[in-house]
């Protein structure tokens, strides 16, 4: 059976060009980048070339890019080290952030590192109330704000520039989890006014286990991981050279092909919305679905209440369709999606997140819609 993969928000297949780039490095460049001999220096050159590539695409300087093991480490470093560096006691986030953000801030509150954790209001589509954000910033000392660019389950976009303007007005430190949007939108860090943004390479057809943290040159933080002078004394540990090279190549490809892929994927998403709406009664979409307000790679659907609704994903799986019921980081949990709970979605309706990539085809979506229709019609509660 040829499987259909619609779980690209969880991870994406590696681009063949990225694989070739990494394999070449694996075969030919094995020196430790911290070694001073020729083999070490040539590997160090590869890392710095990758750093320069990433920085150039983001309109950053190479000194602002720090390679990490992925988005979770990058988020943790930004939050924990940013708050520590400026002795911040008040943090602001939302109740639908990724757990790498929500759990980290909750831990800092429990440990007494911060005194107050505020949650900005969101509406039923997952939109951040920017007026409430400003109210939360007005009556406090310098705050730390962590709001993601696109929600990983809903796809709803937050205007980074507007958030950045508000944070600048109140001298707040602004961290934005850009894991889902890196490589899908242009991020010009000179315009965004964010102090931290992050990347996980496996979300944009790069390898797993590598990412980066952008740290704006206007602020200084100390390391979270100690042990060596790697990453200009910001992250101890021998660098994941193959991963770093793959990340840079994947991001380079993403930027070069961005317009074409965005058009292709947005057309697919719009087509699936039309087909699902026409074929299955009484469904609704979670989060924003207007192109200007929604990440074009993600579509979250709530279906009618069904017998054994928790088996919908299993039924899709046995029919050769890979999708998820929210964030992959919560898969297997019986407590439900904190994001859907956060927007008060109907708990009696099974929800599926379909997420697309440049490899997704219209023919695949036709098959998926038909299978979903069959499963729902056979199991819906009358």
Average pLDDT for residues 255-262, to the nearest whole number?
Answer: 98
Helices (H), 29-159: 38-58, 71-76, 82-85, 99-110, 130-138
Transcribe 196-254 into DSSP letters.
Answer: EEEEEGGGGTS-SS-EEEEE-TT-----SS-SS-HHHHTS-S---HHHHHHHHHHHHHH
Tell me, what's the pLDDT at 305? 85
Whether the pLDDT of residue 350 is over 50: the answer is yes
Q: Hey, which residues are catalytic here?
A: 329
Query: Using 50, 70 and 90 to split pLDDT, how confident is the model at 139?
Result: confident
Around Cβ 45, how many Cβ atoms within 10 Å? 12
Neighbouring-strand partners of residue 150: 157
Distance in angstroms (rounded) separating the CA atoms of residues 296 and 82: 31
Average pLDDT for residues 109-125, to the nearest whole number?
Answer: 97
Whether the pLDDT of residue 330 is over 60: the answer is no
Average pLDDT for the chain: 94
Q: Kind and range of the H or E element at 4?
A: strand 4-5
Axis crossing angle, helix 38-58 with helix 241-256, rounded to the nearest 10: 30
The per-residue pLDDT for range 292-319, each reduced to its tens digit, is 999 999 999 999 988 766 788 999 999 9
Beta carbons of 200 and 179 less than 8 angstroms apart:
yes
Tell me, what's the pLDDT at 326? 54
69: buried, middle or exposed (CB in 10 Å: 19+, 13-18, 0-12)? middle
Tell me, what's the pLDDT at 306? 80
Which domains are present in the chain?
Answer: 4-12+258-376 (3.90.1150.10), 16-256 (3.40.640.10)
pTM: 0.94
Whether the pLDDT of residue 327 is over 80: the answer is no
Whether the pLDDT of residue 373 is over 70: the answer is yes
Whether the pLDDT of residue 329 is over 60: the answer is no
Tell me, what's the pLDDT at 187? 98
The per-residue pLDDT for range 160-210, each reduced to its tens digit, is 999 999 999 999 999 999 999 999 999 999 999 999 999 999 999 999 999
Regarding beta strands 211-215 and 173-176, do their DSSP bridges make them parallel or antiparallel, or are they unpaired? Answer: unpaired
Q: Kind and range of the H or E element at 93?
A: strand 90-93
């Amino acid at each position: 059976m040829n499987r259909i993969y619609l779980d690209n928000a969880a991870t994406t297949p590696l681009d063949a060009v990225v694989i070739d780039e990494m394999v070449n490095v694996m075969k030919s460049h094995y020196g430790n980048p911290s070694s001073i001999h020729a083999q070490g220096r040539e590997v160090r050159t590869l890392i710095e070339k990758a750093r320069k590539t990433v920085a150039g695409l983001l309109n950053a300087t190479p000194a602002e890019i720090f390679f990490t093991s992925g988005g979770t480490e990058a988020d943790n470093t930004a939050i924990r080290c940013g708050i520590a560096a400026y002795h911040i006691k008040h943090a602001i986030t939302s109740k639908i952030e990724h757990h790498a953000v929500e759990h980290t801030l909750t831990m800092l509150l429990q440990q007494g590192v911060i005194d107050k954790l505020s949650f900005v209001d969101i509406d039923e589509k997952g939109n951040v109330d920017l007026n409430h954000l400003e109210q939360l910033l007005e009556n406090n000392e310098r705050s730390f704000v962590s709001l993601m660019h696109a929600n990983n389950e809903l796809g709803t976009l937050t205007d980074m520039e507007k958030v950045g303007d508000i944070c600048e007005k109140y001298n707040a430190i602004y961290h934005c989890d850009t894991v889902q949007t890196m490589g899908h939108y242009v991020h010009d860090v000179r315009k965004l006014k964010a102090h931290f943004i992050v990347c996980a390479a496996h979300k944009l057809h790069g390898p797993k286990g590598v990412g980066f943290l952008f740290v704006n040159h206007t602020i200084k933080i100390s390391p979270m991981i100690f042990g060596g002078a790697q990453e200009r004394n910001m992250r101890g540990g021998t660098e994941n050279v193959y991963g770093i090279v793959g990340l840079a190549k994947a991001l380079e490809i993403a930027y070069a092909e961005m317009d074409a892929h965005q058009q292709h994927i947005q057309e697919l998403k719009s087509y699936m919305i039309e087909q699902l709406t026409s074929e299955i009664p009484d469904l609704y979409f979670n989060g924003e679905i207007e192109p200007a307000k929604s990440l074009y790679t993600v579509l979250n659907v709530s279906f009618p209440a069904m017998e054994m609704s928790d088996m919908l994903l299993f039924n899709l799986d046995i029919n050769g369709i890979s999708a998820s019921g929210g964030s992959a980081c919560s898969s297997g949990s019986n407590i439900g999606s904190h994001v859907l709970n956060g927007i008060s979605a109907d708990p009696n309706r099974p929800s599926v997140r379909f997420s697309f990539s440049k490899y997704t085809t219209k023919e695949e979506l036709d098959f998926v819609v038909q299978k979903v229709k069959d499963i729902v019609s056979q199991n819906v509660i009358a």
